[in-house]
Amino acid sequence: MLSADLTRKIDRELTKYPPDQKQSAVMAALGYAQDEHGWLSTDLMDAVARYLDMPPVAVYEVASFYTMYNMRPQGRFKVTICTNLPCALSGANAAANHLKEKLGVDFNETTADGKFTLKEGECMGACGDAPVLLVNDRRMCGHMSHAKLDELVGELSAAADRGEGRPGFDPEHGIHVK
């Protein structure tokens, strides 16, 4: 379940913590596991638990507590837009509506082609760049005017066509594919 690349990344994280505190690496481990698999299935959480000597339910607690972990399959690109007050005062709501219209989905939905999942986010600590969004938890985009949103969606859509992004949601089977 855990690829060599994944265990290498987890092992690097483990060097940051005392040897008897392997659990400290669980957040990073789940993050990298998600990068590779797209979402945290039961099997994946179980594998991480075994790798870090943790009770599986403790991994489940962590995975479900932090909002950036995906507990179900997502589109190839998860776009999370902050709509908190400071962002909203600078047009986040309009940006979110623009995205919804453009992608044809509401928050927490995935486009039929499996390319995009749209999420509503909370403060990302970049209110000065509002509207702000996050692509697949790793890439932050700020000052998202409608034009920049269009550009981004175009870019990601093309990337998804090339099979880039995270293992995505298969619209026909409802399961994720690599």
Partner 1 sequence: MLNIEIDGKATQVAPGTSVIEAAIALDIYIPHFCYHKKLSIAANCRMCLVEVEKAPKPLPACATPVTEGMKVHTASPLAVGAQKGVMEFLLINHPLDCPICDQGGECQLQDLAVGYGASASRYLEAKRVVFHKDLGPLISAEEMTRCIQCTRCIRFSQEIGGYMEFGMINRGEHAEIVSFVGKTIDSELSGNTIDLCPVGALTSKPFRFTARTWELSRRKSVSPHDSLGSNLVVQVKGDRVMRVLPLENEAINECWISDKDRFSYDALNGPERLRTPRIRQGGQWQDVDWPTALDFVVQGLSDIVARHGAPALGALVSPHATLEEAALAARLVRGLGSDNIDSRLRQSDFRGDAHAAGIPWLGMPVAEVSTLERVLVVGSFLRKDHPLVAQRLRQVARKGTVVSMLHSVDDDWLIKVAHKSIVAPSALVSSLAGVVVAAAAARGVAAPAAFAGIAPTVAEKAIAEAFTEGKRAAIFLGNYAVQHADFAQLHAAAQALAQITGATLGFLTEAANSVGAQLAGAVPQAGGMNAAAMLAEPRKAYLVLHAEADYDFARPQAARAAFRNAELTVVLTPFAQGLDDADVLLPVSPFTETAGSFVNCEGRLQDFHGVVKPAGDTRPGWKVLRVLGTLLKLPGFDAEAATDVRALVTSGAADLMAKLDNGTRLALSAPVAAPVDAGQGPGTPAERVADVPIYFADPLVRRSRPLALTVDSRPPTARMHASLLATLGVKDGGEVRVRQGGGEAVLTATADAAVPPGVLRLAAAHPSTSHLDGLSGPVTLERA
Partner 2 sequence: MNAPSEFLDYGPDAVLMAGLTGSNWRLKDYEARGGYEALRRILAEKTPPEDIIAEMKKSALRGRGGAGFPTGLKWSFMPKNYVGDKYVVCNSDEGEPGTFKDRDILRYNPHAVIEGMAIGAYAMRANRGYNYIHGEIWDTYLRCEEAVEEAYAAGLLGANILGSDFSFHLYNHHGFGAYICGEETALLESIEGKKGQPRFKPPFPASFGVYGKPTTINNTETFAAAAWIARHGGEAFLNLGRPNNGGTKIFSVSGDVARPGNFEVKLGTPFATLLEMAGGMRDGRPLKACIPGGSSMPVLPGEIMLQTDMDYDSIAKAGSMLGSGAVIVMNDTRCMVRSLLRLSYFYFEESCGQCTPCREGTGWLWRMVHRIEHGEGRMEDLDVLNSVSDNIIGRTICALGDAAAMPVKSFIKHFRDEFAYHIEHKRCLVDPYV
In the complex, the residues that contact partner 1 under the rule CB under 8 A are: 42, 45-46, 55-58, 60-61, 64-65
| Positions 17 through 76 that interact with partner 2 (CB under 8 A) | 17-18, 21-28, 30-31, 52, 54, 58, 61-62, 65-69
Question: Could you give the CA distance from residue 110 to residue 112 in angstroms, rounded to a whole number?
Answer: 6
Q: Report residue 164: phi and psi, to 5°.
A: -85, 180
Closest CA to 78 of 55, 52, 107: 107
Minimum CB–partner distance for residue 4 and partner 1 (Å):
23
Q: Which CB, 3 or 42, lies closer to partner 1?
A: 42
Please report the DSSP string for 21-80 in residue order: -GGGGHHHHHHHHHHHHSS--HHHHHHHHHHTT--HHHHHHHHHHSTTS-SS---SEEEE
Residue 177's binding partner out of partner 1, partner 2, none, with CB under 5 to 8 Å set by partner kind: none
Q: Which CB, 4 or 65, lies closer to partner 2?
A: 65
| Cβ proximity of 51 and 29 under 8 Å | yes
Task: Supply 22's token pair.
Answer: 């392997």
Task: Supply 169's token pair.
Answer: 């949601």
Q: Which CB, 97 or 170, lies closer to partner 2?
A: 97
Site string for partner 2, 103-142 (x = CB under 8 A): ------------------xxxxxxxxxx---x--xxxx--
Positions touching partner 2 (CB under 8 A) are 16-18, 21-28, 30-31, 52, 54, 58, 61-62, 65-69, 83-86, 88-90, 92-93, 121-130, 134, 137-140
